[in-house]
Amino acid sequence: MVEDNFIKNSFLYIVGSLLVGILGYFFHFLVSKRLSISEYGELQSLLAVYSILGVFGSALSYFVTKHASVFAKFKDYGANKEFISFVIKKSVKITFLLLLLFLLILPWIHNVLHLSGFLGLFYVILATCFGFILSIYLADLSAFEEFSLFIIISFAAALFKLICGVFFASIFARAEYVAISFIISSLISLFIAEQLTYQKIFKKHSETPKKLWKEYFSDVDFNKIILPTFLFSVLFVFIMNIDVILVKNITTAEITGYYGALSLLGKIIFWINSAIIAVTLPKAYAEGNEGRRPNGKIILRTYTSIIFIGVIGIFLSMFWSKLIIGYVFGSQYLVVASMLWLFSGISLALSLFSFEANLSYARHDFRISYVLAAIVLAMISGINYFHHTIQEIALVINIIFVLGYVVTLTMNLLSYNYIRSKLDNSIA
């Protein structure tokens, strides 16, 4: 039954993510053809800032999914409703403070990235605040394995971002105006997520809690795990986006445009693998709350899928890079086509590292934050010293991610062996 659910959920999530991802990539493909390479480089910078500022929503999402997964395991919908209500009340206050904080640092971000105007950053900040609340509902749906609803909301967000992005790019041909599409997408998806979560989980299962939601985590000190959760999310989002920020700061907007295009295509592998990992995470969080590793067969299937998709992606990017880049971005990007396979390699290494990092987090092994911090520092140092060519940057990032994966895997294996030996001794 576990295997059947895993296969079914994986298939549903991957197919849904594929549709959402296609819309997301169409956004880049269609918008990039309406912008100059330098304007597209600026849009990539705004998107990177959007992702980094969205780290607060990412941290909240990790927190909600991890704990709501426990309610899902015990089918306590009442406790889940109280937990989500508690989180939303706290988050509304935090959102207001975040808005003020983001507005204060807006001039600094503008200067670091050498952007042409402030409007794009302002739109990104507003979209980030709406996305903060949206992450709560999406995380709860994910915890209860309502992947079909998760996909519907994500699809709607991607569709409206695509339509509005192409519209503004066609009229203004400026990156900062394309950023308006982020706000529209966030608002519409927030409304849909709230309605679907209420109908599917809150209203349908409006029962009295089996016990208070905090009683499920009697051994957990929330004051101690909030900071590590936030750090985990911050560092992981930095790992995902800091390369574009650094390239934009150190090099030119044109090089950033080329780099962003290659990175976007390469991350198709990570995007597909993320869908597979996301299916595993609710069970990993529920088992990790008790210090256990998820079902071994699920781990094996996840690894097999990640490696298979990664190898196929690298193969395609090695032999059909010119065809892919020329068709997607246009002939002006063909000068960097030969480097696409390096970015596919980055995505495979990142996928493997992401899976093991999330397994560490699920087990409350917050030592993973030290590994994440080391990777961020290594990326900053590596790109600062080796940025003469795009190929040089890609090679450095590849090496860093592979080393990060090896360290994390070793740390996890040693931890599980330690836990198993303690259990064996207690039984004996």
Average pLDDT over residues 150-177: 92
**Domain presence at residue 331:** yes
Residue 197 CA, distance from chain mean position:
21
**Are both 262 and 210 inside the same structural domain?**
no
Say how far apart CA 145 and CA 62 lie, in whole Å: 15
Which residues, 6+ apart, have CB-to-CB distance to 103 below 8 Å? 125
Question: Which of 195, 218, 241 is a domain's end point?
Answer: 218
Average pLDDT over every residue of 56-61: 82
Tokens of 361: 């987090």
User: Does 129 lie in the same domain as 16?
Assistant: yes
In a shared domain, residues 208 and 105? yes
CA distance 77 to 245: 42
For residues 247-268, average pLDDT: 86
Same domain, 365 and 273: yes
Q: Which has the minimum average pLDDT: 44-58, 96-110, 345-359?
A: 44-58
Dist. CA 230–CA 421, nearest whole Å: 31
- What is the mean pLDDT of the segment spanning 70-77? 82
| Better-predicted residue by pLDDT, 39 or 17 | 39
207 shares its domain with 284? no
Mean pLDDT of the chain: 83
- Can you tell me the distance from the alpha carbon of 313 to that of 336, in angstroms, rounded to the nearest whole number? 17
What is the rounded (10 degree) CA torsion for 381, 385, 387, 389?
A: -130
Q: Are residues 96 and 55 in the same domain?
A: yes
Arithmetic mean of pLDDT, 346-354: 94
The DSSP call for residue 200 is: I
Identify whether residues 189 and 322 lie together within a single domain: no
The DSSP symbol for 203 reads I
pLDDT at 419: 47
Listed range (153-167, 206-220, 342-356) with the worst mean pLDDT: 206-220
Last residue of a domain, one of 218, 234, 259: 218
Q: How far is CA 50 from CA 81, 150, 260, 367, 404, in A?
A: 29, 21, 15, 27, 25
Whether 389 maps to a domain, the answer reads: yes
Q: How far apart are the first and last CA of the chain?
A: 31
The pLDDT value given to residue 161? 94
- In terms of Cα–Cα distance, which of 400, 327, 404, 401 is closest to 368? 404
Query: Tokens 């706000």, residue?
Result: 183
Task: Read off the pLDDT band of 218 (50, 70, 90).
Answer: low
In a domain, 227, yes or no: no
State whether 119 and 179 are in the same domain: yes
pLDDT-derived band at 61 (thresholds 50, 70, 90) equals confident
Q: Predicted confidence band at 180 (pLDDT cuts at 50, 70, 90)?
A: very high
Residue 348 and residue 302 share a domain: yes
- Count Cβ atoms below 10 Å from residue 332 Cβ, excluding itself: 15
pLDDT bucket at 423, cuts 50 / 70 / 90: very low
Cβ atoms < 10 Å from Cβ of 25: 18
179 and 260 belong to one structural domain: no
CA trace torsion 115, 119, 122, 127 (10° rounding): -100
Judged against a pLDDT cut of 90, whether residue 144 lies above it is answered with no
Number of domains in the chain: 2
CB of 347 within 8 A of CB of 269?
A: yes
Higher pLDDT, residue 292 or 403: 403
Question: Rounded to an integer, what distance in angstroms lies between the CA atom of residue 290 and that of residue 307?
Answer: 28
Please state the rounded mean pLDDT for residues 252-276: 86
- Comparing CA positions, the residue from 278, 26, 327, 270 lying closest to residue 159 is 26
Q: Which residue has the higher pLDDT, 154 or 223?
A: 154
Q: Is residue 224, in this structure, part of any structural domain at all?
A: no
Least trusted range by pLDDT, from 98-107, 206-215, 274-283, 380-389: 206-215
The verdict on residue 269 lying in a domain is: yes
| Residues sharing a CB contact under 8 Å with residue 265, sequence separation 6 or more, in sequence order | 317, 324, 325, 328, 340, 343
**Is 241 a domain residue?**
no
For residues 380-394, average pLDDT: 91
pLDDT in tens, 222-250: 656 667 777 787 788 888 888 988 888 88
Rounded Cα–Cα distance for residues 87 and 16 (Å): 27
d(CA 279, CA 9): 6
pLDDT at 99 over 60: yes
Tell me whether residue 139 is in a domain: yes
Are the C-beta atoms of residues 380 and 242 closer than 8 Å to each other?
Answer: yes
Assess whether pLDDT exceeds 70 at residue 115.
yes
Asked if residue 157 and residue 115 are part of one domain, the reply reads yes
Mean pLDDT for the stretch of residues 145-174: 90
71-80, 257-266, 305-314: which has the highest mean pLDDT? 305-314
Q: Classify residue 239: in a domain, yes or no.
A: no
Q: How far apart are CA 298 and CA 10, in angstroms?
A: 11
Most confident of 21-30, 126-135, 211-220: 126-135
Which of 203-217, 267-281, 292-306, 340-354 is most confident? 340-354
Same domain, 176 and 268: no
Is 50 exceeded by the pLDDT of residue 1?
Answer: no
Q: Is residue 425 predicted with pLDDT exceeding 60? A: no
The predicted model gives 180-193 an average pLDDT of 93
Total Cβ atoms within 10 A of residue 353:
25
Q: Domain of 194?
A: 1-218
3-state helix, strand, coil in the chain (%, to 5): 85, 0, 15
Does position 13 have pLDDT exceeding 80, yes or no?
no
Per-residue model confidence as pLDDT tens digits over 285-329: 656 555 556 667 778 888 998 999 999 999 999 999 888 888 778
Query: Which one of 201, 218, 235 terminates a domain?
Result: 218
Q: Please provide residue 365's backbone torsions phi and psi, each rounded to the nearest 5 degrees.
A: -90, 85
Task: Write down the pLDDT at residue 422.
Answer: 46
